[in-house]
């Protein structure tokens, strides 16, 4: 196995830390609520997880483990007539998101001598605009902890004053912040905008200051559309745009072809960074997906692939009361 020697130049320059602070997910459409709290509960009560192994084959390369749970409060009610508790249903009886939903998000990423942990609490709600469209709002409180093991750093010049404050120390910084978002959602499409880290890490923080210039306010736009070609085949298209003052903009897109609402295959692109192919299975309440990502252009400075696998489980079956005429029950 090759070993990736993470130098202090990469880890401690602001550019290197900023780049790793922007989280990329190949199958990003499956985790809408991570980017925008307004979309919490948009698919009902669910458990989701993914594991992402970046630069496969290198030791100490980035590895991310993610978990989330979403709860549609209507699922706590024992009555079988739950129509009034949902956000709305259109004339084709589509389930289009929870009226009130809560979510929990947790992930940890390890990268060489660094470790980042995040926990977030989401709330999403919505109001009906028409028979088939709702306006959703959401907010979340997040906590980030970033650790750097200075004793594991590899530097060319151990006397360099730029690194003296972290060398041979166990460095740790924590912060609380808020996310805010809104979205237009229907059974067949959604459009959303969210702002993450609204206070840019200044709301409440503790520990060392080595990460103080990394966290910045982020702007995220999302959109998705899905439709049937016929009774067997369908198409799902999703897009995502990230922007912040430090890393500027990144555009991502993904298209999936679905067979019989059961199997899907797709491909995606992240501008100037990566191309991926993906496939998945949706069987009853269980979803499984896999993506293989390959770097392009300047990202090929480390020409190693990335593997990502995700699982999701719907706690309440998506029966005819939630299924729409499209027959597509996932994004």
Q: Is the pLDDT of residue 19 over 60?
A: no
Q: Which percentage of the chain shows pLDDT scores above 90? A: 50
| pLDDT tier, 92 (very low <50, low <70, confident <90, very high otherwise) | very low
Compare 259 and 99 and report the one with higher pLDDT: 259
User: Looking at per-residue confidence, does 91 or 59 come out higher?
Assistant: 59
pLDDT of 281 over the 70 cut: yes
Opening angle at CA 106, ends 181 and 40, nearest 5: 35
Q: How many residues make up the chain in this entry?
A: 331
Mean pLDDT of 55-80: 83
Give the model's confidence band at 78: pLDDT under 50 very low, under 70 low, under 90 confident, else very high: low
Q: Given phi > 0 = left and psi -120 to 50 = alpha, else beta, which region is 207?
A: left
pLDDT at residue 9, rounded to an integer: 40
Non-local (6+) Cβ contacts of 241 within 8 A are: 220, 221, 222, 249, 250, 251, 252
Alpha carbon 42 to chain centroid distance?
14
* Mean pLDDT, all residues of the chain: 83
What is the per-residue pLDDT for 59? 76
Q: Is the pLDDT of residue 310 over 80?
A: yes
- The answer, yes or no, to whether residue 288 has pLDDT greater than 80, is yes
- How many angstroms separate the Cα of 220 from the Cα of each of 89, 183, 279, 299? 27, 11, 25, 22
Residue pointed to by tokens 């970033």: 146
**What is the value of pTM for the model shown?**
0.85
Quick one: average pLDDT of 292-318? 84
* Tokens coding 34: 């991570």
pLDDT at 250: 94
Query: 132 versus 17: which is more confidently predicted?
Result: 132
Q: Which residue has the higher pLDDT, 39 or 173?
A: 39
Domains along the sequence of the chain with CATH:
2-314 (2.40.160.40)
H or E element at residue 10: helix 8-12
Q: In which band, very low, low, confident or very high, does the pLDDT at 320 lie, cut at 50, 70 and 90? A: very low
| Residue bearing the bigger pLDDT, 85 or 135 | 135
Rg, Å, the chain Cα set: 21
Provide the pLDDT for residue 6: 47
In this prediction, residue 165 carries a pLDDT of: 65
Residue 22 has what DSSP assignment? S
Please say if the pLDDT value at position 128 is more than 90: no
Tell whether the model's pLDDT for residue 213 goes beyond 70.
no
Residue that is written with structure tokens 């929990």 in the block: 104
The 10s digit of each residue's pLDDT in 167-192 is: 667 778 899 999 999 999 998 999 99
44 pLDDT more than 60: yes
pLDDT, mean of residues 133-139: 94
The answer to whether the CB of 88 falls within 8 A of the CB of 128 is yes
By CB neighbour count within 10 A (0-12 exposed, 13-18 middle, 19+ buried), where does 120 fall? buried
């Amino acid at each position: 196995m090759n070993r990736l020697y993470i130098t202090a130049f990469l880890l401690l320059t602001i550019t290197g830390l900023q780049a790793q602070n922007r989280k990329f997910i190949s199958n990003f459409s499956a985790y809408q609520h991570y980017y925008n709290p307004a979309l919490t509960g948009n698919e009902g009560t669910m458990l989701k997880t993914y594991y992402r192994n970046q630069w496969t084959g290198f030791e100490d390369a980035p590895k991310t483990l993610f978990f989330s749970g979403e709860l549609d409060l209507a699922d706590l009610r024992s009555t079988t007539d739950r129509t009034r508790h949902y956000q709305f249903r259109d004339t084709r009886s589509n389930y289009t998101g929870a009226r009130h939903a809560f979510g929990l998000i947790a992930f940890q990423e390890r990268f060489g001598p660094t470790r980042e942990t995040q926990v977030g609490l989401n709330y999403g709600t919505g109001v009906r605009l028409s028979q088939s469209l709702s306006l959703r709002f959401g907010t979340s409180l997040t906590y980030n902890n970033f650790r750097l093991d200075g004793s594991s750093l590899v530097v060319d010049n151990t006397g360099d004053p730029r690194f003296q404050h972290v060398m041979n120390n166990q460095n740790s910084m924590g912060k609380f912040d808020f996310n805010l978002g809104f979205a237009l959602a229907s059974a067949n499409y959604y459009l959303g905008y969210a702002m993450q880290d609204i206070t840019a890490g200044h709301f409440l923080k503790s520990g060392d200051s080595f990460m103080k210039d990394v966290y910045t306010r982020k702007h995220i736009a999302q959109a998705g559309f899905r439709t049937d070609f016929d009774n067997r085949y369908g198409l799902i298209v999703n897009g995502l745009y990230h922007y912040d003052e430090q890393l500027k903009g990144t555009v991502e897109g993904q298209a999936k072809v679905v067979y019989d609402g059961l199997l899907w295959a797709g491909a995606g692109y992240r501008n100037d960074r990566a191309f991926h192919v993906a496939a998945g299975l949706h069987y009853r309440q269980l979803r499984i997906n896999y993506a293989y990502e390959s770097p392009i252009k300047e990202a090929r400075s480390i020409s190693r692939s990335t593997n990502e696998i995700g699982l999701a489980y719907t706690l309440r079956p998506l029966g005819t009361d939630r299924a729409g005429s499209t027959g597509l029950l996932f994004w």
